[in-house]
Structures are given as C-alpha cells and as structure tokens.
Amino acid sequence: MFLNNSYKDKYLHIISFDIPVPVNYGGAIDVFYKLKALHGTGVKVILHCYEYDRKPAVILNQYCEKVYYYKREVNKSHLFKLKPYIVATRNSNELLKNLLKDNYPILFEGLHSCYFLSHSSLKNRKKIVRTHNVEHHYYGNLAKAEKDLFKKYYFYNEAAKLKSFEKILKHAQGIACISKNDYVYFSDKYSNTTIVSAFHPHEKVDIKEGYGKFALYHGSLDVPENNEAALFLVQKVFRDIDIPLVIAGNKISKELKALESSEKNLKIISSLNTEDIYELVKTAHVNILPTFQATGIKLKLLAALYTGRYCVVNSPMVINTGLEDLCIIQDDVEAMKTALKNIFEHPFSSKEIEKREFILNNNGFSNNFNCIKLLKLVFD
C-alpha cells in the first residue's frame, strides 16, 4: 500500500511496445507491474499498446483510465528503412492523434516506442523514456549468439540502426534507466537521467527454508542469449556432476532438445505458465542463471532472489546491480561445479532469508520506491 498520494488524479500517457499481458517475459513484467504500482498511487494512466501477437487484455482496464490498441505493421518492407525495424513497425497516426487530445506527460516504454518522440506537435510536452536496455548493445550481443545467418545479419543490421536512432533521446526531458550499467551509459550522453529499477510481482520475500532436489535454469529459450546459456550449463557445467538440472522455458531449440536423451541428469520442461515457472523457482535448491550479456536487469534474477533458495550466477548477470551480496558469483566452469556441489550439502537458512529481506527492501528494488522515483521524474 502506498503512503504517498501527492500524485493522485494526475494523468499520464504510457506508450507500450507490446500488450503487457500475458505477463510472461521481462518487458511485459516491467510494464504490467508499473501500471499496477501507478494505479496504487491514484495516477490515471492512459495506456497505448502496439498489438501484433497478443490479444487485448481486459485486466488492463483495472489499472488504466483508458486503453488504446494499435496494429503493429510487421511488414518486411520496414527491414529496408533507415529507422530500426522495432521502431518503424510501431508507427500509428492514430496514436499521435490520441496523444494530442490533451497536454498530459508521456512515458515512452523502450526505444521501440519512440517513433514520435521528436515530432514537432509534441515539442512542448513533458516526455520521459523508460530504457529497458542499451538496445544496440543488446542486439549486437543477440547477433553474436545467433547461429542462423539471416537472423544474425538482421540483428547486426538492427544494432547499427538502433545506435544511430538513439540520438532521438535528446528530445526527452528525462530518461528512466532500468539498471546502473545502463545509467552509466545514458547519463554520459543525456541529461536528467536516473535509475528506476525493474517493476516486478514480488511484494515481499517468500522463500522456503531447507533443501530442494534440483538446480533450475529458466528463460525464454527462443532468445539466442538464453539458449546459449542453457547449452553452456548442459554441455559444460552439469555434464559430469551428479546434480539434477531442470531447464524450463518455451520454444526449446532442436539442439537443446537433442541433448535431453543423452544427459541422464537433464530434464527439460516446456509450455509452462507463469505460475508453473514460479513454483519451480521456489522448489529448486539453486537457481543457476548465467548470462553472456550485461544489459538491463534480468527479471528472472529478481524472481529467484525474492522466491528461490540459493542463486548461482556469473559476473555479467549481477555486477553493478546492487544484488551481488545475495548471489554466489562464479565465472569459471570448474568453480561453478565446486560451488554447486557445496550448495547441495547445505540447507537454505532463515538467516539467509533475513539477509535477502534486508538488501531487497533497502537497495531500491521495491515497486513502491521505484514508482515514487518515476513519478518525481515525470511530474516534478
């Protein structure tokens, strides 16, 4: 419950790159729980969503004064335009008309939604951009992890366009970065930049003491970065240690699926809903979450720390997040194996839970804290 109601009945436009329901990937999680937090302050949100592979969601009406949907034009001709594909396909004149019906401030979710950020008719409007990543870094890293040559070319091409397009951020009056690493990058280029950490579904730490029976890696496995991390765990870390590994996620690659029959300690679970994933996070003895690109902040890391037992990561997953003291950080394969063996000999204790509560509650990760921080950026 929010104690600060000084923003009650203020209006805010939010332009979302996607319909944030189902709440089953990082960007959707951040947007949905931001809407919920803003609603708790009494702010009246006018939400604008680009629609392409999701249906309008009735639940959004609970948290928004008005919800508009616009068809995303996913025509391949946009691949040959100067603007990045993720921006050029989110271009609706109807959106611009709706923004011009009033003079309320506008929050653009991600560089994806910034097509109209520099439009002359919005010149005198208060405009804030929520950055979810340094997008050209993110797409460059996707290209490195991608094996399909066409997709690899697309990611590299998109990265170059995004780097050029990023200059549009000079038209924003504020930038709300999702992580410290992103803040370091953006604050060097643009004024009025601040950190507003990720919004998430966890109101409090809820962790089971004692032992779990397996290690868990979870993520959207159609994302090259996540597939690469899953293959790394199967082929390098768990291949010769007697610890069960569960990999949970949708759209499993053929390469990963082929390993399931040959690896005796591997179980792959797909077609899960969000509740199923969270139940696995809670029952695992350790959530193991390597990543090969240090962009944004990973919502699955916050989920593991709020609801899971031990958490083993590599440096890119956690450095400069403020969460380092809550994780076991190992970058070497053999060190990771040793850490896992040691963890499975020890129960997760109430003392560890208290440590989680203290750091998460006092280091700027609560939705209440970040909601007020965002509203100060928008309205003050």
- Please work out, in degrees rounded to the nearest 5, the angle formed at the alpha carbon of residue 227 by the alpha carbons of 249 and 289: 75
pLDDT at 1 over 80: no
Local structure of 81: helix, strand or coil: coil
Is 205 part of a structural domain of the chain? no
Kindly report the length of the chain: 380
The helix (H) or strand (E) run that includes residue 137 is helix 135-145
CA-closest candidate to residue 302, choices 281, 275, 328: 281
CA-closest candidate to residue 293, choices 139, 63, 90, 105: 139
Question: Comparing 5-9, 11-15, 131-135, 174-178, which segment has the lowest mean pLDDT?
Answer: 5-9
Q: What is the largest CA-CA distance in the chain?
A: 63
pLDDT of 244-263, one tens digit each? 999 998 888 888 989 988 88
pLDDT number for residue 296: 65
CATH number, position 57: 3.40.50.2000
Is 89 part of a structural domain of the chain? yes
Residues 6+ apart with CB under 8 A from 30: 130, 132, 178, 198, 199, 200, 299
pLDDT at 137 over 70: yes
Both 113 and 141 in one domain: the answer is yes
Both 226 and 128 in one domain: the answer is no
Q: What is the mean pLDDT of residues 23-27?
A: 88
Contact 70, 51 (CB under 8 A): yes
Angle between helices 224-232 and 135-145 (to 10 degrees): 50
Q: What is the mean pLDDT of residues 297-303?
A: 87
User: What is the band of 4 on the pLDDT scale with cuts at 50, 70, 90?
Assistant: low
Share of the chain above pLDDT 90, in %: 79
Question: Comparing 1-5, 69-73, 216-220, 308-312, which segment has the lowest mean pLDDT?
Answer: 1-5
Domain membership of residue 285 as a residue range: 215-362
User: Bigger pLDDT: 296 or 54?
Assistant: 54
Both 125 and 189 in one domain: the answer is yes
Contact 313, 327 (CB under 8 A): yes
Is 202 part of a structural domain of the chain? no
pLDDT of 191-204, one tens digit each? 899 999 999 999 89
Query: What's the structural domain count of the chain?
Result: 2
User: Bigger pLDDT: 77 or 174?
Assistant: 174
Both 184 and 36 in one domain: the answer is yes
Contact 104, 46 (CB under 8 A): yes
pLDDT number for residue 374: 97
Is 210 part of a structural domain of the chain? no
Both 33 and 113 in one domain: the answer is yes
Contact 196, 373 (CB under 8 A): yes
Mean per-residue pLDDT of the chain: 93
Both 186 and 228 in one domain: the answer is no
pLDDT of 167-222, one tens digit each? 999 999 999 999 988 999 999 999 899 999 999 999 899 999 999 999 999 988 88
DSSP, res 142: H
pLDDT of 344-379, one tens digit each? 999 999 999 999 999 998 888 999 999 999 999 999
User: What is the band of 52 on the pLDDT scale with cuts at 50, 70, 90?
Assistant: very high
Both 143 and 276 in one domain: the answer is no
Both 89 and 140 in one domain: the answer is yes
Is 207 part of a structural domain of the chain? no
User: What is the band of 56 on the pLDDT scale with cuts at 50, 70, 90?
Assistant: very high
Beta strands 215-218 and 286-289 are parallel
Rounded Cα gap, residues 135 and 297, in angstroms: 13
Is 109 part of a structural domain of the chain? yes
Both 132 and 279 in one domain: the answer is no
Both 356 and 293 in one domain: the answer is yes
Share of the chain above pLDDT 70, in %: 98
Rounded Cα gap, residues 202 and 342, in angstroms: 28
Is 80 part of a structural domain of the chain? yes
Both 239 and 185 in one domain: the answer is no
Both 100 and 225 in one domain: the answer is no
Is 128 part of a structural domain of the chain? yes
